[in-house]
Amino acid sequence: MYVLAALLIGVGLGMGYFIVRSGSSRRPEGGLEWSVLVLSFLVALMGAGFITLTLVGEVTSSPGHESRTVVGEPAPPLHLRLVETNKEKRLSNYKGKVVILNLWATWCPPCLEELPELNRLQERYGPDGLVVVTISDERRETLQRFEREKVNLQTVSGYLPPGQSWPAPYDKVRSSRPMSFIIDRDGRIQNLWRGAADFSQFERAVMPYL
C-alpha cells in the first residue's frame, strides 16, 4: 500500500511539475494544461489518502486503540457452547479470572497466526488466574475438524450456539476478525482491539490485572 501511495504521489507531482515547467509563463495555458494539472493534483491527493488510511488502520488494529466506549464497563452477557463437550457456558462463569476473550474464525488468516500465541498465554499464565476464551460463530463440526487437523487449542474453545447472534459490543467482529477483549477479575472490560496481536502484546495487556 505504501509503495502504491508513493507511486501515485510521485506521478501526480511529476505531471504537475512537467506542466508548469513546459509553459513559457511557468503557469498552465489553455484548458488541456489546466485539466492535466488538476488531474495530477487529484492523483497526488489520492496517494496521500492511501497513506492516511493505512496508518489509521495500523493504529486501530493495535491493543488499546479501539473505541473506548465500553472500557471500564461490565462485560455484557455472552452465551457459548464448548467445542469439546457441547456444554453450555456463559462468560460470567469465568468471573474471578482475568479473561482474554478472542473472537475468531477458521477462514481468517490473522486469527490462525494468533492461535498459537493464545495457547502459549494460557499455558504460561493459566496458573496465575488467566483464562483464554476463544469463540467462533462457525459450526461445531467445523471447529472440531480444525482442532483435529490444524491447531489443538489449549484455550476454552467455544462456539456461538446456532440461532444466536453476537450481542453488542461483540458484534464488532462482523466487520473485523480477530477481535480481542481483556476482562478483569470483576468482569469489567479493560481493553479491546481489532486485529491480531502477538504474545508480548497480550502479555502487556493482561499483566496489570493478574
In a domain, 110, yes or no: yes
Beta carbons within 8 Å of 69's beta carbon, 6+ residues apart: 169
CATH number of residue 113's parent domain: 3.40.30.10
Torsion of CA 139, 153, 157, 207, to 10 degrees: -140
In a domain, 9, yes or no: yes
pTM confidence score: 0.69
In a domain, 20, yes or no: yes
Mean pLDDT of 5-30: 53
Residues 84 and 51 in one domain: no
pLDDT tens digits along 162-188: 888 999 999 988 888 999 999 999 999
Residue type for position 165? S
In a domain, 47, yes or no: yes
Residues 195 and 104 in one domain: yes
User: 116 vs 10, 43, 122, 202, CA distance in Å?
Assistant: 41, 42, 10, 12
Residues 48 and 101 in one domain: no
Residues 114 and 45 in one domain: no
Residues 96 and 20 in one domain: no
How many distinct structural domains can be found in the chain? 2
Residues 53 and 128 in one domain: no
84 is in which domain, residue-wise?
79-209
pLDDT tens digits along 100-114: 999 999 999 999 999
Single residue among 60, 87, 104 that ends a domain in this structure: 60
Residues 101 and 171 in one domain: yes
Which three three-digit cell numbers place residue 164? 444466536
